[in-house]
Structure 1
Amino acid sequence: MAKLVYEEPEDYLVRVSICSILSFLSINPFQINVDVEKIQDILVNSTESNFIIFPEYTYSLVLEEIYQNFSNDNNCVIIGGSGLEQIGNKYYAYCPVFIPNSASIKVYKKYITAEETVLSAGKIIGYENDVQREIVLTIGDRDLSFSIYVCYDFLVENKDKRSDIIFVPQYEGSPEQFINEGDRISKGYRNFVIGCNNCNNNQRSIGFAILNSSLIDSLHLQHYRNSEYNDMNAKHLNQHHTIFYDINKERLISFDINIGRPYSLPFNYNLGNLKPVLIPINNQVL
């Protein structure tokens, strides 16, 4: 039989946990002082997750064994925020990625913000070489792809290849550019952009997927996002239809996201009993 012109997409759900927490970065002395007990509490409440993401400046080597063991034992990927790798009297910022029963991967940060340069007295520098961003996991007969951009890299780097999920660990106080780019990428590639921010100074963690009005209303009622995102004339901004969480304070939220069908139709009715683009699982204050 010849291939059908139209083939219905198949549901494929993965669970993602996003951990919005305060930075562990100390300015004087310049180092990251991890609260191991807080991290372990988060892990205990994320045992059913396929992916766990932390924000920038929450990682140091004291977590390496903890994260790798948890990844192995729970068959999950941990995107460990970011830490510092000392190079002489300077530092690279990097995001460690822990994959079950595999060597960890470092995703270095190429573009350093002005705030980081000032706070570190010029100690943090951008990584000069190529960075591995895309990682592909083979799960049964499926390949799942995800990419990682550390904060400002997401705004600057080209994204000319689709990933099922883009993870962005951040320390970001002014999210307008991130909102514009997250909206653009999630619509253009029909995928998910998962931002995880430190909550210092009321900063926000924001994620993107293609939503319909029913999902928007439901997510608002469960306190994951605002009911409306409007301009000064009370007109819906384009991003209104893609922001699926917008949180602050120290919180742990979890979603099942449907990477097999990564977009919502404008109506909910279907004869195939398909799952929605995402299902909220947990919304917990830490």
Structure 2
Amino acid sequence: MNYAASSEQCLSRILAGLDLSFLSQRDLKLFTNRLNSHFHELFTRYVDVYGHQFDCYYHLSQLVLSLAMGLKNRKADLKRLDRARSHDDKLWHQQENQVGMACYVDLKGPTLTELQAKIPYFKSLGLTYLHLMPLYASPEGDSDGGYAVSDYRKVNPVLGNMKELEALSKALRDAGINLVLDFVFNHTSDEHRWAKAALTGDENYQNYYYLFDDRTIPDQYEQSLREIFPQVRRGSFTWNETMQKWVWTTFNSFQWDLNYSNPAVFNAITEEMLFLANIG
């Protein structure tokens, strides 16, 4: 396959079929320029993974739409930062002069507001980025230290809220420090809205996870899968009584592995990442 020619034709058809009138003329020009620069790489990798599926083109088209919506929702100061960084030879996180710190908000804050008050201290250390461990909404008791995410768009209320996270991000940027969030994309909590929809019998959302009617395939996987928490439970699959199915749960029974063989999952998790990127 001539991927170069195919990607150009595919992009032309996608743009012809999408209504991007929600973008300003300036953003539309920026978006199409970026697509022209990067779509070939996206197309090649997307088709490598999903090209055998009958609806690959549809999902790729929806992904482009999601990317456009992400640009629309990006605030002006972040767009200015994007433009400034576009002239750099390397992406900022690939630069050898970066100095970072990783921490849990509750151990360093213990809230987002109190963490913001420590920016002068971070500045004195010479930090250029602050990496926060998972701070998203998660079920009390079954949170796995924040790694069982029930909502990527909400902060654990013990730590603060999204407005406070956005304020922290801006204050860090003003101090010359980038904010990095630990993003959990292998699995969600069984209380995430996708999992809840799957529990109601919605097949679209059941396909967001790895579900099995019997032990045939899980038993084959179990021969080589490494148990993550063998002191807590054995095996990597959990029987769900409501769905009458086995769920792939690599870490804990309440953390359902996402099914990335489904392009809808890739697109959905991309939208969650874009939301967080637009927080700053």
Query: Is the shorter-chain TM-score for this pair beyond 0.5, marking a shared fold?
Result: no
TM class by shorter chain equals under 0.3
Point out the structure with the larger strand share: 1
Point out the structure with the larger helix share: 2
Decide which structure has the larger Cα Rg and report it. Answer: 2
TM-score by length of 2: 0.26
TM-score by length of 1: 0.25
